[in-house]
């Protein structure tokens, strides 16, 4: 493998590069812990309501499109692969491959958002957005179905926001790599974005079965 | 490492004179300058919160609601709570003293992420200004707890703006927490093992863990309330099958540990000051260190004690009650160990030590009255009365502010290079202690008699107690003003401090006062345990002993 790593820049507060790199990685993991707690609270909220309203949640979940959800799951899983490859090539200092797979990851992330957009659009058309225009069959579940769709929009919306932020961050990273900016000479920034991206994927891995695949 | 005392007239380089433009302050990444920025901003918000408290106590002088309308009274006590908790008590010690001292104490040149640290101050200011804007444009009247459905369907006040402010401030604490965790893990000086860390660092580490685990939960919970208000989703709305009690669970999952975010750093300060002014090592160092961790862990399992009377299951109540008793154990371990540290110590009653003594007294009262509230049966009587108000002020004000003032005086020479005036500082400590007890002891009685919190009308027979409380608050206000005045005075007129005016151990005392921009001329190497006061004492004796023997021969 080609080892063409230029010398990294050492920030003043660190003693050596090893300490600097480890600090960034530990910092990113600590941030991901806060993200887990962030999503954890909504997951807990959802689970409490689902346990209490089994039947209504089952009725409501039938209005979600499993094929589209499954497609999006595949898209995100593939994007995790391309991201892992980006990190791999970054560690070996292969700029072109790195850029290629980073752009592939971005394309997959945007595909996910577009599909999600279509799904949201369907919900608007079908009147499944909570509020005065909400209507649901069978009518006896209207009340709790609104709760289900409130949570659906809150959870997938929050996740989609994280995907969108991921696209932005990857875009900045791609530009920096393309112009050979000194801050991306080593693989640490790519590694950090990679950690974030895998986290965003894992959230979806939990969201998909929780919302789309409720057993009878 | 240079530790020479600056001669009068000689100006040494330090972080304060490293640049005097506004830009050099607002774009600084120096943790010490950011600490000073925080010092100024938390003091500003403390004064706003204090003025609101003054309005509450003025209103309560008379049994009728004659100064404020009911609506305005609701707004005033809510904003007092929001400002004091989110903008003062939670950030005060970590963001001011912690920011200044964590890198110094671990022997690092700065925190791991200096720019993130600066960003945290900007987030804090943004959140603070949004909350202030909400106050000016109509205020908020839900109580600082934002319970739905008050906060979702039934309030027309500025709930959304205030919550967005609190949400942003939450991210400022998360940034600080992440910075401290990484700094303590990765940036300790050579030889500074975990069990050589000052207890201040252990306390801040435990605090950071709570911040990182708890704050996101309240952030998302408050966000759900905003979503409910703005997009009319119905997550906590009973009309849509939602459950307001669930909000309370999620809210207190953070907001009870938040009390430990306030008190643990204060406990860290107490450990440092009590060892220095008793000239002894902290009794049971490991127990004090691990009790911080124990508080952080158990503190996450007691939130349900806020909900004994709000429709939670009885069995959950019993479990939460037991766990609440359990969390008192590590707190008691600390109090006993500090007391044992003083035992047979050479106690020097300087102003910081007076605050430590005050802390111990107030924290014991606050802690023991907490046990009344942790007991299921007594809580039914005391829930939402002034007993609760008095209890949490004893912990949060008596604990956090006394710890903060102890630390601010103790490290003032380090931060500014100047000594504060000792005599008036002692006087202020006594006034604050007296004023505090005058304000809040009567509230225990009021609560026991049945005075509910958040009401401004009350039966006439309670007026005497309320007048006592208001008079005490006036005294307390004077007590708070004094340090603001004499500390500012000391910036120009205080005696020069020198690197180590207290003869204290710890790396922060081994560099100049005020420290140079990157803290140490060269990275210090640690070769001994913390609080080795007795070792140094022995060395002196040995030195003088050998000196005497040489003169004899």
- Whether the per-residue pLDDT at B287 is higher than 70: the answer is yes
- Whether the per-residue pLDDT at A186 is higher than 90: the answer is no
| Residue B473 and residue B439 in contact, taking contact as beta carbons nearer than 8 Å | yes
Question: B243–A48: do the CB atoms touch at under 8 Å?
Answer: yes
3-state secondary structure of B519: strand
B167 touches chain A (CB under 8 A): no
- Report chain B residues whose CB lies below 8 A from the CB of A26: 181-182, 185-186
Which pLDDT score is estimated for B65? 87
* Lowest mean pLDDT across A56-60, B417-421, B540-544: B540-544
Residue B550 lies in a domain: no
Q: What is the pLDDT of residues B178-196, one digit of tens each?
A: 999 999 999 999 999 999 9
Indicate which of A45, A128, A148 best probes the interface with B, i.e. most B CBs within 10 Å of its own CB.
A45
Question: At what angle are helices A188-212 and A17-52 packed, to 10 degrees?
Answer: 10
Residue B8 lies in a domain: no
Phi-psi region for residue A10, left (φ > 0), alpha (ψ -120 to 50) or beta? beta
Cβ-based burial of A42 (10 A; exposed 0-12, middle 13-18, buried ≥19): buried
Q: Which tokens belong to B399?
A: 């604990």
State percent of chain B over pLDDT 90. Answer: 86
User: DSSP secondary structure string, A26-77?
Assistant: HHHHHHHHHHHHHHHHHHHHHHHHHHHTHHHHHHHHTTS-HHHHHHHHHHHH
- Report chain A residues whose CB lies below 8 A from the CB of B228: 150
* Cβ-proximal residues to B200 (8 Å cutoff; 6+ apart), any chain: B101, B105, B265, B268, B269, B271, B272
Q: How confident is the model at residue A2 (pLDDT cuts 50, 70, 90)?
A: very low
Q: Which residue of A has its CA nearest to B190?
A: A15
3-state secondary structure of B418: strand
The pLDDT of B212-230, averaged and rounded, is: 93
Question: B246–A48: do the CB atoms touch at under 8 Å?
Answer: yes
Q: What is the pLDDT of residues B138-171, one digit of tens each?
A: 899 999 999 988 888 888 889 999 999 999 999 9
- Whether the per-residue pLDDT at A21 is higher than 90: the answer is yes
Residue A121's alpha-carbon distances to A88, A162, B54, B546, in angstroms, are 37, 20, 53, 88
Alpha carbon of B451: minimum distance to chain A alpha carbons (Å): 35
Residues spanned by the domain of B93: 26-544
- Whether the per-residue pLDDT at A1 is higher than 50: the answer is no
3-state secondary structure of B291: helix
Q: Which tokens belong to A125?
A: 């058309």
Which pLDDT score is estimated for B546? 38
Number of residue pairs across A and B with CB atoms under 8 Å?
116
Closest to B4 (Cα-Cα) out of B516, B523, B534: B516
Alpha carbon of A145: minimum distance to chain B alpha carbons (Å): 8
Residue B415's alpha-carbon distances to A177, B206, B498, B515, B517, in angstroms, are 42, 24, 11, 8, 12
Predicted model pTM: 0.93
Closest to B196 (Cα-Cα) out of B133, B314, B319, B105: B105
Question: B182–A23: do the CB atoms touch at under 8 Å?
Answer: yes
Of the two residues B73 and B535, the one the predictor is more confident about is B73
Question: At what angle are helices A54-61 and A17-52 packed, to 10 degrees?
Answer: 110
Residue whose structure tokens are 């110094």 = B104
CA distance B362 to B319: 27
Residue B448 lies in a domain: yes
Question: B242–A49: do the CB atoms touch at under 8 Å?
Answer: yes
B227 touches chain A (CB under 8 A): yes
Which pLDDT score is estimated for B19? 86
Q: How confident is the model at residue B1 (pLDDT cuts 50, 70, 90)?
A: very low
B235 touches chain A (CB under 8 A): yes
Alpha carbon of A152: minimum distance to chain B alpha carbons (Å): 10
Instruction: Give the closest of A45, A56, A144 to B235, CB-based.
Output: A45
Q: What is the pLDDT of residues B327-386, one digit of tens each?
A: 999 999 999 999 999 999 999 999 999 999 999 999 999 999 999 999 999 999 999 999
Which pLDDT score is estimated for B271? 97
The pLDDT of A163-170, averaged and rounded, is: 98
Alpha carbon of A174: minimum distance to chain B alpha carbons (Å): 22
Which pLDDT score is estimated for B11? 67
CA distance A45 to A55: 17
Cβ-based burial of B336 (10 A; exposed 0-12, middle 13-18, buried ≥19): middle
* Lowest mean pLDDT across B48-57, B76-85, B225-234, B487-496: B225-234
- Report chain B residues whose CB lies below 8 A from the CB of A42: 220, 224
Question: B212–A34: do the CB atoms touch at under 8 Å?
Answer: yes
Q: How confident is the model at residue B549 (pLDDT cuts 50, 70, 90)?
A: very low
- Report chain A residues whose CB lies below 8 A from the CB of B212: 30, 33-34, 37
- Whether the per-residue pLDDT at B543 is higher than 60: the answer is no
**All domains of chain A in start order, with CATH:** 19-212 (1.20.120.80)
A133 touches chain B (CB under 8 A): no
Question: B109–A12: do the CB atoms touch at under 8 Å?
Answer: yes
Q: What is the pLDDT of residues B20-53, one digit of tens each?
A: 899 999 999 999 999 999 999 999 999 999 999 9
Indicate which of B102, B107, B228, B235 best probes the interface with A, i.e. most A CBs within 10 Å of its own CB.
B235
Of the two residues A168 and A7, the one the predictor is more confident about is A168
CA distance B44 to B38: 10
Question: A13–B110: do the CB atoms touch at under 8 Å?
Answer: yes
Alpha carbon of B53: minimum distance to chain A alpha carbons (Å): 33
Q: How confident is the model at residue B535 (pLDDT cuts 50, 70, 90)?
A: confident
Domains: count for chain B: 1
Interface predicted TM-score of the whole assembly (ipTM), two decimals: 0.92
Q: Which residue of B has its CA nearest to A56?
A: B241
Question: A34–B174: do the CB atoms touch at under 8 Å?
Answer: yes
- Whether the per-residue pLDDT at B537 is higher than 70: the answer is no
Q: Which tokens belong to B139?
A: 């205020």
Indicate which of A28, A40, A150 best probes the interface with B, i.e. most B CBs within 10 Å of its own CB.
A150
CA distance B292 to B200: 10
B233 touches chain A (CB under 8 A): yes
Of the two residues B383 and B548, the one the predictor is more confident about is B383
| Residue B325 and residue B258 in contact, taking contact as beta carbons nearer than 8 Å | no
Question: A13–B108: do the CB atoms touch at under 8 Å?
Answer: yes
Alpha carbon of B249: minimum distance to chain A alpha carbons (Å): 10
Indicate which of A38, A41, A129 best probes the interface with B, i.e. most B CBs within 10 Å of its own CB.
A41
What's the CATH number where B90 sits?
Answer: 1.20.210.10
Closest to B466 (Cα-Cα) out of B491, B449, B484: B449
Instruction: Give the closest of B178, B219, B221 to A31, CB-based.
Output: B178
Question: A41–B185: do the CB atoms touch at under 8 Å?
Answer: no
Phi-psi region for residue B281, left (φ > 0), alpha (ψ -120 to 50) or beta? beta
Q: What is the pLDDT of residues A87-144, one digit of tens each?
A: 999 999 899 999 999 999 999 999 999 999 999 999 999 999 888 888 888 888 988 8
Instruction: Give the closest of A11, A38, A143 to B216, CB-based.
Output: A38
Contacts 24+ apart (CB under 8 A), B337-344: B337/B282, B337/B283, B337/B284, B337/B287, B337/B288, B338/B270, B338/B271, B338/B274, B338/B282, B338/B283, B340/B283, B340/B284, B341/B274, B341/B275, B341/B278, B341/B280, B341/B281, B341/B282, B341/B283, B342/B274, B342/B278, B342/B280, B343/B283, B344/B280
Question: B235–A150: do the CB atoms touch at under 8 Å?
Answer: yes
CA distance B510 to B316: 51
């Amino acid at each position: 493998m080609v080892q063409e790593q230029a010398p990294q820049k050492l920030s003043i507060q660190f003693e050596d590069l090893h300490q600097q790199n480890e600090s960034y990685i530990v910092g990113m993991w600590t941030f991901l812990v806060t993200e887990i707690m962030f999503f954890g609270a909504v997951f807990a909220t959802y689970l409490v309501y689902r346990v209490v309203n089994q039947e209504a949640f089952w009725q409501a979940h039938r209005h979600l499109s499993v094929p589209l959800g499954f497609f999006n799951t595949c898209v995100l899983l593939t994007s995790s692969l391309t991201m892992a490859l980006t990190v791999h090539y970054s560690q070996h200092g292969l700029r072109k491959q790195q850029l290629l797979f980073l752009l592939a990851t971005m394309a997959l992330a945007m595909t996910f958002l577009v599909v999600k957009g279509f799904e949201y659009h369907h919900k608007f058309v079908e009147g499944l957005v909570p509020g005065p225009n909400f209507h649901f069959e069978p009518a006896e579940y209207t009340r709790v179905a609104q709760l289900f769709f409130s949570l659906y929009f809150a959870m997938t919306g929050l996740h989609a926001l994280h995907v969108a932020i991921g696209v932005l961050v990857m875009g900045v990273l791609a530009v920096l790599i393309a112009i050979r900016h000194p801050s991306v000479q080593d693989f640490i920034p790519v590694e950090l974005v990679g950690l974030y991206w895998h986290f965003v994927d894992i959230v979806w891995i939990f969201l998909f079965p929780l919302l789309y695949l409720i057993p009878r | 490492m240079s530790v020479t005392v600056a001669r009068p007239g000689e100006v040494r380089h330090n972080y304060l004179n490293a640049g005097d433009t506004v830009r050099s302050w607002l774009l600084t990444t120096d943790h010490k300058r950011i600490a000073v920025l925080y010092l100024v901003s938390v003091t500003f918000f403390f004064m706003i919160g204090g003025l609101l408290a003054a309005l509450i106590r003025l209103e309560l002088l008379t049994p009728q609601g004659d100064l404020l309308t009911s609506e305005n009274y609701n707004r005033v006590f809510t904003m007092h709570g929001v400002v004091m908790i989110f903008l003062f008590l939670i950030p005060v010690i970590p963001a001011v003293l912690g920011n200044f001292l964590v890198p110094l104490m671990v022997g690092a040149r700065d925190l791991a992420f200096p720019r993130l640290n600066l960003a945290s101050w900007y987030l804090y200011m943004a959140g603070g200004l949004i909350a202030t804007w909400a106050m000016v444009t109509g205020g908020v009247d839900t109580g600082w707890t934002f319970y739905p459905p008050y906060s979702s369907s039934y309030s027309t006040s500025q709930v959304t703006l205030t919550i967005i402010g609190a949400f942003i401030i939450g991210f400022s604490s998360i940034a600080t927490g992440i910075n401290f965790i990484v700094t303590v893990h990765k940036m300790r000086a050579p030889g500074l093992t975990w069990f050589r860390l000052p207890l201040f660092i252990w306390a801040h580490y435990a605090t950071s863990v709570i911040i990182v685990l708890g704050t996101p939960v309240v952030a998302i919970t408050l966000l759900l309330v905003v979503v409910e208000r703005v997009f009319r989703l119905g997550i906590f709305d009973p009309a849509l099958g939602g459950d307001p009690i669930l909000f309370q669970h999620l809210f207190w999952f953070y907001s009870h540990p938040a009390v430990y975010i306030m008190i643990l750093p204060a406990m860290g300060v107490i450990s440092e000051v009590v060892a220095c002014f008793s000239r002894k090592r902290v009794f049971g160092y490991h127990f004090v260190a691990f009790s911080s961790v124990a508080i952080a862990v158990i503190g996450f399992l007691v939130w349900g004690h806020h909900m004994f009377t709000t429709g939670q299951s009885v069995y959950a109540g019993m479990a939460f009650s037991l766990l609440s008793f359990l969390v008192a154990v590590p707190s008691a371990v600390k109090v006993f160990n500090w007391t044992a540290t003083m035992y047979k110590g050479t106690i020097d009653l300087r102003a910081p030590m007076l605050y430590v003594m005050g802390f111990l007294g107030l924290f014991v009262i606050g802690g023991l009255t907490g046990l009344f509230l942790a007991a299921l049966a007594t809580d039914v009587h005391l829930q939402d009365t002034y007993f609760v108000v008095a209890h949490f002020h004893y912990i949060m004000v008596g604990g956090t502010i006394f710890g903060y003032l102890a630390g601010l005086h103790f490290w003032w020479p380090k931060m500014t290079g100047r000594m504060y005036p000792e005599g008036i500082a002692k006087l202020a400590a006594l006034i604050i202690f007296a004023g505090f007890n005058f304000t809040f002891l009567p509230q225990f009685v009021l609560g026991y008699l049945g005075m509910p919190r958040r009401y401004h009308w009350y039966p006439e027979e309670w007026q005497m107690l309320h007048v006592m409380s208001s008079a005490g608050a006036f005294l307390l206000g004077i007590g708070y003003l004094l340090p603001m005045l004499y500390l500012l005075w000391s910036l120009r007129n205080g005696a020069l401090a020198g690197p180590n005016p207290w003869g204290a151990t710890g790396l922060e005392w081994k560099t100049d006062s005020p420290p140079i921009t990157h803290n140490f001329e060269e990275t210090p190497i640690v070769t001994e345990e913390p609080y080795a006061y007795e070792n140094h004492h022995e060395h002196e004796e040995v030195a003088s002993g050998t000196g005497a023997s040489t003169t004899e021969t």
